Copies of this chain bind each other. A is one copy, B any other.
Amino acid sequence: MDASARFVSRPLHVTDCVHCPLRHSTLLEPLTLSKLKEVHQGLHSLQCFIPAKQYLYTATDRVHDLFVVYRGWVILYQDLKDGARQIQRIALAGDLITPSLDPKVPAMHNAQAVTDVQICAFPLHDLTRALQSTPELSIKLSQLYQEQMRLCQEHITNIGRKSAEERIAYLLLELCNRVRQRTETSDESIELPLTQEQIADCVGLTPIHVNRIFRQLREKGLIEMTRRRLVMRNENALIDLAQFEPQVVV
């Protein structure tokens, strides 16, 4: 199915997208929301609203756009034959979602809104033109890809070589860090709209085991989890446990 059809069949508010990292050309500028609020450079885009649990596209879709999340959480995941599911990436505000750069190639994964989501869609055709006319844009795009790759590779290390406890601690710290960068705060608690099942699908465990680990972490006094909210009770201990290396953003 064609993903653009999927779009227009859903409630959507089209306005100008005034918050978008693609407008920033400075090398390795951190992608905070305040930084995002700058001037548009004339790149065509549509801002869309996607309600929670709806799909941005699915694995077989041929997508003609590159997306930038403006608000909300999006999970990118793959379904396996046996019913299992692996969340490959969690996209937050300011993150790029690029199912493919070739509209003939299907996305191979699903993109689903966890919360209500606002995104900007950039038609690939316009993007290609913009890249040719605006070199800063292409450099920015490379940086975004690079940052994505880094997270992706850390995710691989996390899933491949760490215990359940370490994996979950790491995921929580990473998400916490990313949320803080975006809100420019350093609260010890954040909104965490993921279910335990989604966390399990992210780190490659079963929801039952995720629950066991959460209890452990709670009993050790490291975290507290109320509904949709995560409190880091002892962040240093958690960092130590997870072998987490907060990225030094220069």
Contact = CB atoms under 8 A, between A and B. Distances in A.
Interface in A183-216: 203-204
A39 interface: no
Given A132-B139, A135-B132, A161-B204, A149 B148 contact: yes
Copies per complex? 2
Contact of A135 (B133, B148, B149): B133
Given A135-B133, A152-B152, A152-B153, A245 B108 contact: yes
A5 interface: no
A100 interface: yes
Contacts of A139: 128, 131-132, 138
Interface of A: 27-28, 76, 78, 80-81, 84-86, 88-89, 98, 100-102, 104-105, 108-109, 128, 131-133, 135-136, 138-139, 141-143, 145-146, 148-150, 152-157, 159-162, 203-204, 243, 245, 247-248, 250
Q: Shortest 8 CB-CB distances between A and B: which pairs?
A: A160-B204, A138-B138, A145-B145, A132-B135, A88-B153, A86-B157, A86-B161, A152-B152
